[in-house]
Chain A
């Protein structure tokens, strides 16, 4: 068992319609492309301390495009 378990945020590009709620809630976890559609920053690994923000971004996405999973 690893000592630290990290969470990972995943954006489904087929579902994302560019509401930008995730970017507003967790700007360190999500970035936008030139059309305003979201993607995870880097590989989506959630730095320690931002777990709640990741969960909130998931819970506020109107398109159910965000998943938070164990990395």
Chain B
């Protein structure tokens, strides 16, 4: 990994991979919101970091000036100018499209509409019993040990098993999926080789799956995509692979992080644990509050046309970190934003994004988080962090605990 100089000024030289930002970002963001609501860094070829809800919302809605063609901030290889003077795309760029998350209008809408029916509350409700069984089986493995790693023994397996089921992929391939995610979103943020390797492996894997479904159709999302038509045309294999990559990546890392953060909070707040056990009807409010306070996902946009937001100029081609977690901590919108109140009734949080790119899996995520917490609290109502110092957090676009050792009676 590239060694980068430590940050001395968060407003003018921030680095979202800095260990302080990764471990405890909220105070840094609070400070920025007060002093420099749109921070900037020259690192990563230039990135803006708005921290106010209003600015983040304005950018999410402004698809004319802020494009989704790049949605992750990474170290890019140096751009090679071509004869025409236009920079050439880095290797692999043509295979990066993952519709609809990387699509702008007008291409975005048809690609999204295709997927929406599979993710409505009713469609997701049919997966609840299966999810409950998955959680129960996981807890069986460690319940009598008095300890486990709530991230690696529990949280990370729940969404893997559910999305594998939805896509008709073997649950046993979970280790492979997690490795790709690590290469793409963790190592691959700073190291291009990891990134391209994971892309190539996923490409090969999905091509085999697509060929298999063509000969023997199943009842899964891959089969559905093979039969789907967009504007009267079947989807290209590139479109299907891009969408599958999106569903696999977005369906796993994010929810596993959210479940982990909920358990991290509950391990340290006995009163909240007790309330959720004695007042289970509070669970929906609590889940929304955990999503607000520990929103895992920070998306990105690329400035397509120079513009001004919140009084700050945004230069063309630079990136913007669209931090829904920071928006959710803005005290202008959320009273006592830094306090987790599991019965917060008015909670217009932006954990699933705002505008046309609202997370398509939000109902799935909510169901998985709710079921994972309910099953855990039923079996393990009392638990504590084994050692707060041993908890580690992921960096990059998805934030959640990656090591979370807990002890219980």
Chain B min CB distance to A13 (Å): 13
Q: How large is the interface on B (under 10, 10 to 19, 20 to 34, 35 or more residues)?
A: 20 to 34
Q: Is the CB of A35 within 8 A of B113?
A: yes
Check: B386 CB closer than 8 A to any chain A CB: no
- Determine the residue in chain B with the shortest Cβ distance to A56: B345
CB distance from B96 to the nearest CB of A (A): 24
**Is B355 a contact partner of A17 (Cβ separation < 8 A)?**
yes
Q: How far is the CA of A20 from the CA of B238 in the complex (A)?
A: 31
Nearest-neighbor residue (CB-CB) of A37 within chain B = B116
A19 to B355, CA, bound (A): 10
A32 contacts B by Cβ under 8 Å: yes
Chain B residue with the shortest CB-CB distance to A35? B116
CB atoms of A19 and B362 under 8 A apart: yes
For the complex, give the distance between the alpha carbons of A9 and B211 in Å.
49
Name which of A21, A61, A62 has the most chain B CB atoms within 10 A of its CB: A62
Question: Quick one: given A19-B352, A60-B347, are A34 and B358 in contact (CB under 8 Å)?
Answer: no
A50 at the interface (CB under 8 A from B): no
Q: Which residue of A lies closest to B113 (CB)?
A: A35
Determine the distance from Cα of A57 to Cα of B347 in the docked complex, in whole angstroms.
10
Chain B residues within 8 Å of A36, by CB: 116-117, 119-121, 363
Interface size on A, residues (CB 8 A): 18
- Interfacial chain B residues near A64, Cβ < 8 Å: 348
User: Which of A24, A34, A63 is B120 in contact with, Cβ under 8 Å?
Assistant: A34
Flag if B354 contacts A59 (CB, 8 Å): no
Give A24's nearest chain B residue, CB to CB. Answer: B284
A63, B354: Cβ atoms under 8 Å? yes
B349 within 8 A of A: yes
Contacts of B169 in A (CB 8 A): none
What is the bound-complex CA distance between A63 and B357, given in angstroms?
12
Which residue on B lies nearest to A32, using beta carbons?
B120
User: For the complex, is B346 an interface residue (Cβ under 8 Å from A)?
Assistant: yes
User: Given A34-B117, A60-B347, are A17 and B363 neighbors across the interface (CB < 8 Å)?
Assistant: no
Residue of B116, B345, B348 with most chain A CB atoms under a 10 A cut-off:
B348
Whether B346 lies near A56 (C-beta < 8 A) is yes
Residues of A within 8 A of B346 (CB): 56, 59-60
| Residues from chain A with Cβ under 8 Å of B407 in the complex | none
User: Using Cβ atoms and an 8 Å threshold, which residues of chain A touch B11?
Assistant: none
Determine whether the beta carbon of A62 is less than 8 Å from that of B354.
yes
Binary interface profile of B, 275-301, with partner A (CB < 8 Å = 1, else 0)? Answer: 000000000100010000000000000
Q: Is the CB of A32 within 8 A of B121?
A: yes
Contacts of A20 in B (CB 8 A): 121, 362-363
Asked if A19 and B120 make an inter-chain contact with CB atoms under 8 angstroms apart, the answer reads: no
Interface string of B340-366 (1 = CB under 8 A from A): 000001111110101110100011000
Which residue on A lies nearest to B345, using beta carbons? Answer: A56
Q: Is the CB of A35 within 8 A of B120?
A: yes
A39 CB-CB contact with B under 8 Å: no
Name the residue of chain B whose CB is nearest to the CB of A34. Answer: B117
Chain A: CB-nearest residue to B344 = A60
Chain B 113-148: CB-based contact to A (< 8 A → 1; otherwise 0): 100110111100000000000000000000000000
Which of B284, B346, B350, B358: most chain A CB closer than 10 A? B358
- Supply 18 further A-B pairs (C-beta < 8 A) apart from A24-B284, A59-B345, A61-B348: A19-B352, A19-B358, A19-B362, A20-B121, A32-B122, A34-B117, A35-B113, A36-B120, A36-B363, A56-B345, A59-B346, A59-B348, A60-B346, A60-B347, A62-B348, A62-B354, A62-B358, A63-B358
7 sample A-B contacts, Cβ–Cβ < 8 Å, listed by A number: A19-B352, A19-B358, A20-B121, A24-B121, A32-B121, A36-B121, A59-B348
Q: Which residues of A contact B (CB under 8 A)?
A: 17-21, 23-24, 32, 34-36, 56, 59-64
Residues in chain B within 8 A of chain A (CB atoms): 113, 116-117, 119-122, 284, 288, 345-350, 352, 354-356, 358, 362-363
